[in-house]
Structure formats: C-alpha cells, structure tokens
A and B are shown apart, each in its own frame.
Chain A
Amino acid sequence: MSDPILVTENLEKRFGGVVAASEISLSLYPGETLAVIGSNGAGKTTFVNMVTGYLKPSSGTIRFRGRDITGSSPRKTAQAGIRRSFQISQIFPQLTVLENVMIAEIAAADGKGGLRRAALTDARMQTGRAVLDRFGLGQHSDTAVGTLPQGIKKQLDIAMAAINDPALILLDEPTSGVSSDEKIEMMERVIAPLKADDATLLFIEHDMDIVTRFAERTVAFYEGKILADGPTREVLSEDDVRKYVIGGVHA
C-alpha cells in the first residue's frame, strides 16, 4: 500500500474539563473513501475541525503528505490541499451559483499572487461552468444562491470544496437537511465527480445505507474515541458499533 496521505497520532481536544476527542490515531490512504460514523457529540466534527486547522489540538500530531500541519489554520490547510464542506452549507447567499464558484477559484489563486490579476478571465469562467456541469448544477448557474433549496446549496458547498483539485476532501454530513428519498441520489451526484479527480474522501454520515453504499472503509467514533476502524461491512457488524453507534444514531 502506498504512503498514507493523512496521519493523525493520538489527537486530543479538551474544552476545559470536557474531552471532545482523544487518542485519535488514523491513517488515510490516497484515493480511498472513508466514512466516519458516530452519534452526536462523538467527536466527528471536532476531528474534521482539527485536521483543517479550525481547532488546535490539545495534544497529538497531524501529518498531511508527510508534513506536520498540527495547529495550522484553515487557510494554510486549504492551500496545502485539504478542503471541506459543511454540515450547514457555508456559501455566499447574495451571489449567484456561478459567482460562488468563481469566488472559490479566485480564493484558491490567492497565495499565488492571483489577487492582482483580472478575476473574471474567460478561462476561469469556463472552469467554473465546467465544475457546475460536473456537479449537476449547470442549470442553476445564474440563480442567487439564497433562493435555492437546501439540497442544491449543499451540492454547491461540496462543488466549491472540490475547486483547485484538493488532495483530501472532508465532507461534514453531506446529506443532512436533504430529504431521505433524495439522499442516495444526491450522494451519487457529488461522489462521482469527486472520485473522478482521484481525491481522497472522508465523509461524516448518519445514514447506514449511504455508508454501506459509498464507503470502502468506516471509522466509528464513540465518546471522543475511535471504537472501530476497518472495511465498512466488518465495522457495521461489530457488536459494539451496533450497540453504541448505530443504535443511537437516530436519537
């Protein structure tokens, strides 16, 4: 197996006396799709927040492509090639769908001196439209984002995370807020273009059907610790996982 793209060792996050995550040691390999499951408060989002530099771990280390990125910032990790989407879509509501994607492209150009140059080049507009087409958002490109349904907003949020070919994409509950009969369809729409770019994917999910269908490997979190880590089917059939994670999921 090739070298892991992301390695975390003994990550721990305490908020005062509350331990939100501890002993998180995890390796992600290039090209794999990994699901993170666990009930609310199990430390899933805390983990994503630490990897992207939003939260500074209390102890432990994070290495991305062999480089130590512990305690970095969201901007630095984004520039290094880690992107994320959000449980509640984080987009620019006053702008149109295409403009949102353009912002993502321009932002990616920052740090390379790209802010000085004309932003709306034909090439960039074309990339933007192509991204929207790949994510099935083409017909909405000129609609103001604020007026769109939740599912489309989440799709856009993910499309923006995929701009500039990141090596690792973390999706925080991509299907939350989407009606249950649309969840699988929506995942298919976003996973296919992400996989086409060979990105390594990690997604947090509560729906076990989706986990089984889309993730080769699953990590189960429980009370801030890793309860199980392995091939999805094995993890989902473990007694502890069934008892503590799946049983409590829909609470």
Chain B
Amino acid sequence: MMKTDFRREPLYIAILAVLLIVGFFLPSWLRFLLQTALAGGLVALGVALQMRAGLVNFGQGLYYALGGYAVGMLAAQAGITDIFILLIAAVLVSTVAGIVLGLLLSRYREIFYAMLSLAVSMILYGLLVKAAWLGSTDGFNIPPVSYLGWTPDRAVRPDIYYVTTAVLTVIACLATARYLTSGAGMLCEAVAENEIRLEYLGASPRKVAFIVIVVASALSGLGGGLLAMSTGHVDPLMTNWTTSGGFVFVALLAGRGSTIAPVIGFFLLELVRTYALDLAPNAWQMILGLVMLAVILLLPEGLWSLIERRRKA
C-alpha cells in the first residue's frame, strides 16, 4: 500500500540518534553485527524496492560485490584510502552497472527478471573466482581507510567505522524515502499491479522499472562499500547466489512498509543466524528456514506489519 507518511525527517534523525547512542552501550561483537547489518540492510532495501514494482532480484549481490570490490581495489591496489572517494567510487561503479543492466533487464518481469539477474550476478562470481590477482575465492584484505588525511588508529577505528556506517545508512534510507514519494517511486506499485493500464494512462512502466533498478543498484553499491570498509575484506561470496538469496529472504522477512524495515530485518536475521549457529551448529539453516516459513504463513506482509497493525489499532 502506498504510504503518505514516508516524508518524516525527524523520524530518521531519531533513528540515527538511537543507533549512535545504543552503539556505545552494545558489546563490541553485537555492535559489529549491527554495523554489518546496516550495510547489508541497504542491499535488502534495494531488493525490497524492486519487489514493490513486482521485480524479484535474485542477483542483487552483484552490486554489493561491485561496491565492495571498488573500495577494495582502490584502497589495496591503487593506494587511495580516503573513505569519501572510496564510497563515491563504490556508488558510481554500481550505479553505472545498474544503468547498463537496467536498460537490458527493465523489459523483463517475474521469473525472467529473477533468473536473468541471478545469471548476471553469477557471471561476476565466476570472473572473481577465476581472478588470481584478486585472490580468487579467498578475496583480499583492505588497508584501513582515512578521513581527509587522518587515519584513525586501532583504538578508535571501530567507533569511527560504526558512526560512518550508521550515518550514511540513515541518510541513504532517508533519500530512499524521498524517492518513494516521487512520481517514479509511487508508480512502482502500479507497475506490479497493472502495467497495461499504466500505459493507457500515459506512463512508461519500463522507465519506472529502470529507475527502481538504478536506485537499488546505488544503495547496494554503498552497502558493499561500507561492508568492505567495516570488515577490511572482500571476497566473491558477496555476489554468490546464496548471498543474494539472503537479501531476498530479508526483504520478505522485513516487508515493504518502511525504508528502515529491511535494515532491522537484516539485523534480526544476523542475530538468528548467530544464535542458531551457536545452538545447533549442524542445523542452523533449518532454524532459518523455519523462521522464514513462520513469517510467510503468519505475517505475509512482513515483520513491519506488526508495527503497522499496532499503529492502526
């Protein structure tokens, strides 16, 4: 359903404040989990956006990896460590890929879109695995990044990286909320529901689909860049189908009710995964599967519908 209350800057500022404050009380392992969830959540948000237009992208990891490798290659091989340049490069590279692929894929729907996006992401996976100079399946490590010439030392680095990730994620979510209230964002649901009628009203469903693909690619590239910075490492698994499947999982788990929902969803997934791994090292995937099944059966609109329901009541 179309939401008219996406435009709430104060809400996003409050979320950022909470993230920053909570960040300093959480144990460092949990905060790091949150940090990677913020980065991954941006990719899941990209998947959720496309779902609004009826497009299920099973290869969103492609842009995640492109963002990550852009940061990694510039920092490790070209020696550019300034975080601002690195992240701009990450977004730029993934957006250009989004534009090229968007021109190609925006005409496809349903299973054809899902399979083609999966195929393209697996081509990149294949290339990265074969690239010995990029560490093949192991990937490679990335040196610490700098902020306008200042390289945070070991002691404060985790804090600085966390703040960077939180601030940029919330800004990206806010920008996405803006996009959702624009004409291109509003027409996504119309594309999913009745494309022919949309044509008959004078709009181009293909253009609407193209724009959502590009927006999602930019978000995912930023997510990949932030993850590369956070973990100091990239590897081809970022664009493997299992990773992309995880983003689809989170997008479904979270629902489409809010731009922040996929970020929360990703964090919950990481938590479940961590505890499931702890509890049942050999059966954690089964636990994840059962969670997924429960969400689909009990909350078809995703976890966010719990909050929506309360607000309506």
Chain A positions within 8 Å of B, measured between CB atoms, are 52, 73-75, 78-79, 83-84, 86, 90-96, 99, 102-104, 106-111, 114-120, 144, 160, 163-164
Among candidates A74, A102, A116, A163, residue contacting B182 with C-beta atoms closer than 8 Å: A116
Q: Are A103 and B200 in contact (CB under 8 A)?
A: no
A50 to B201, CA, bound (A): 16
What would be 15 A-B contacts, judged by CB atoms less than 8 Å apart?
A: A74-B196, A75-B200, A75-B202, A75-B203, A91-B197, A92-B189, A92-B193, A94-B193, A107-B202, A109-B183, A110-B202, A111-B203, A119-B182, A120-B4, A163-B201
Tell me whether B198 and A103 are in contact (CB under 8 A). yes
B186:A119 contact, CB within 8 angstroms? yes
Assess the B182–A110 pair: CB atoms within 8 A: no
Asked if B182 and A118 sit within 8 Å, CB to CB, the answer is yes
**Contacting residues, chain A, for B193 (C-beta < 8 A):** 92-95
Q: A95 to B185, alpha carbons, bound, how many Å?
A: 14
Residue with the highest number of chain B CB atoms closer than 10 Å, among A86, A103, A144? A103
B200–A78 touching, CB < 8 Å: yes
Stretch at the interface among B35-43, B55-63, B204-212, B241-249: B204-212
Determine if B181 and A83 form an interchain contact, defined as CB atoms under 8 angstroms apart: no
Q: Is B282 an interface residue (CB 8 A)?
A: no
> Per-position contact with A for B164-205: 1 when CB-CB < 8 Å, else 0?
000000000000000001111111011001101111111110
A108 to chain B, nearest CB (A): 5
Q: Which residues of A contact B208 (CB under 8 A)?
A: 115
Residues of B near A160 (CB, < 8 A) are: 201
A79 touches B202 (CB 8 A): yes
Give me 17 other A-B pairs in contact (C-beta within 8 A), A75-B199, A93-B193, A106-B183 excluded: A75-B204, A78-B199, A79-B202, A83-B200, A95-B2, A95-B189, A95-B190, A96-B1, A103-B187, A103-B198, A107-B187, A109-B183, A115-B203, A119-B182, A119-B186, A120-B4, A163-B201
Contact residue among B1, B198, B199, B207 (Cβ-Cβ distance under 8 Å from A95) = B1
- Please indicate the chain B residues that have their CB under 8 angstroms from the CB of A144 in the complex: 1
Looking at the assembled complex, report how far the CB atom of B213 sits from the nearest CB atom of chain A, in whole angstroms: 14
Dominant secondary structure at the B interface:
helix
Whether B190 contacts A107 by the Cβ 8 Å rule is: yes
Chain A proximity of B11: nearest CB distance (Å): 17
Alpha-carbon separation in the docked complex, A243 to B208 (Å): 50
Q: B6 to chain A: closest CB distance in Å?
A: 9
| Contacting pair A110 B183 (CB below 8 A) | yes
The chain A residue with its CB closest to the CB of B193 is A92
In Å, the complex CA distance between A118 and B6 comes to: 11
**A94 — nearest CB in chain B belongs to which residue?**
B193
Q: Which residues of B contact A (CB under 8 A)?
A: 1-2, 4, 181-187, 189-190, 193-194, 196-204, 207-208, 211
Residues of chain B within 8 A of A103, CB atoms compared = 186-187, 190, 198, 201
Contact B211 A115 (CB under 8 A): yes
B190 touches A92 (CB 8 A): yes
Point out the residue from B2, B194, B199 that lies within 8 Å of A91, measured CB to CB.
B194
Docked complex Cα distance between A99 and B77 (Å): 51
Please determine whether A78 and B194 come into contact, CB atoms closer than 8 angstroms. no
Across the interface, B203 reaches (CB within 8 A) one of A83, A91, A110, namely A110
Q: How far is the CA of A91 from the CA of B211 in the complex (A)?
A: 23
Q: Which residues of A contact B4 (CB under 8 A)?
A: 120
Interfacial chain B residues near A74, Cβ < 8 Å: 196, 199-200
Determine the distance from Cα of A80 to Cα of B119 in the docked complex, in whole angstroms: 39
Inter-subunit contact A106/B200 (CB<8 Å): no
Residues of A within 8 A of B198 (CB): 103, 107
Residues of B within 8 A of A109 (CB): 183
Contacts of B187 in A (CB 8 A): 103, 106-107, 110, 115
Q: Are A90 and B183 in contact (CB under 8 A)?
A: no
CB-based contact B196/A90 at 8 Å: yes
A114 to B186, CA, bound (A): 12
Cβ–Cβ contact A115 & B1, under 8 A: no
CB atoms of B1 and A52 under 8 A apart: no
Give chain A nearest CB distance to B307 CB in angstroms: 19
